[in-house]
Amino acid sequence: MEISRSTAKNVEIIHLSGLFEYHDEAKLLAAMRQSVEIRPDLIALDLAGVDNLNSACMAALLNMLKIADEARIHFVLYGMNSRVHLLIEKVFSRDFVPLLTTKEFTERYL
């Protein structure tokens, strides 16, 4: 999986693309910790380049939520296709993590 970061306004964005492998969890959590260190208002996870999620990726996403919560930084997920959206809805409550389209994310935060 390719993992990259960008910043827009006071929003840190972690972009994912490709297939999540089990060894990618450490890279993803490292990217999350680097984003938290900047102390943005929001950390957003861009899932537009992800076709499917496995259990290791879901566990990593839960850990990312925990890291953001402990740092008291808002966390959102956006850009997912319908399959990924359905999987994430089964694990995350919309009350805790907003699940947004790319358009919704852009209009609200950028």
Q: Give all domains of the chain, ordered by start, each with its CATH number.
A: 2-104 (3.30.750.24)
| Percent of the chain with pLDDT strictly greater than 70 | 98
Phi, psi at residue 62, to the nearest 5°? -65, -40
Tokens of 83: 């399959």
Please compute the mean of the pLDDT values over residues 33-45 and round it to a whole number. 97
* Amino acid 28: pLDDT: 96
Cβ-based burial of 16 (10 A; exposed 0-12, middle 13-18, buried ≥19): buried
pLDDT, mean of residues 92-97: 76
Tell me the whole-structure pTM to 2 decimals: 0.94
Q: How many helices (H) and strands (E) does the chain have?
A: 4, 5
Rounded Cα distance between 48 and 59, Å, is: 19
Q: What's the confidence (pLDDT) of residue 93?
A: 72
| Mean model confidence pLDDT for the chain | 93
- Could you tell me the pLDDT band of residue 2, with boundaries at 50, 70 and 90? very high
